Amino acid sequence: MTDTPKPFKRLLLTGAGGGIGALLRERIKPWADIVRLNDIADLGPARPGEEIVQADLADRDAVLRMVEGVDAVLHFGGISVEDQFVPIMNANILGLHHLYEAVHRHGVQRVVYASSSHTVGFYKTTELVDAQAPLRPDGFYGLSKCFGEALSRYYYDRLGIETVCLRIGSSFPAPRNPRMMTTWLAYDDLVELVRCALFTPRVGHTITFGTSANAAQWWDNRHAAHLGYVPQHGSQAFAANFPPTGERPPADDPATIFQGGPFVTAGPMYRD
């Protein structure tokens, strides 16, 4: 008796050393014979069904080699917090260009790209935003993700490479603060969203917000309904962790006014 063939022979997961990458490292193994893992950091020895490629996304030749022989790419690599522009540029902008050039050269037809809700972080928390709303990044990190969405659109329009951009909110075991009661994406829902992005037959260039079925919502996913993503969890289960109080933030507090929260004021614009 033979095992049922897996859908993919080889998947590439970048950013496998990060919080989300470490989760996906284990959870995507049923989808592929081999999961090729990349990070700039040491990932330790390869486990069964894995290949390890330690490489910097800013290294063009290393990225070209890394993509060879893969069927699809789950791109979760790069810098995921606000920082100075130059390191973000190297990891999230230059590195992404290297990745898409490699995807094109090796004939890969599907990328699942970890974008971010910080592409629209300067919308107010009183507004409902969909994927067709103008971009309003809340920092250099969010700006780099806007570039990523535009770059992936270009490679689809020019070369037919399909991408699903996941505007991930806050994916942790549980919400860590009141803001995350709205932005929270449960781990199980994250994996399901990635699965939908990878397995839906025709996605073209799709932008979807990554959030669970939370009671409060800032994001409208109607333009990504074809993915069939249905979250099964909601932050309401953690409401007791953030009981209401009589205290109110200042009326002019940017982290309260805007969806990006503390990202809208994070980091200096310039460093001497």
CB-based contact 57:78 (threshold 8 Å): yes
Catalytic residue among 141, 155, 187, 229: 141
Q: Which two tokens stand for residue 221?
A: 């996913």
- Measured between alpha carbons, how far is 1 from 198 in angstroms, rounded to an integer? 28
Cβ(108)–Cβ(72) under 8 Å? yes
141 is catalytic: yes
DSSP codes of every residue in 67-132? HTT-SEEEE--S--S---HHHHIIIIIIHHHHHHHHHHHTT--EEEEEEEGGGGTTSBTT--EETT
Q: Among all chains, which residue has been given the structure tokens 């330690």?
A: 54
Catalytic sites, residue numbers: 141
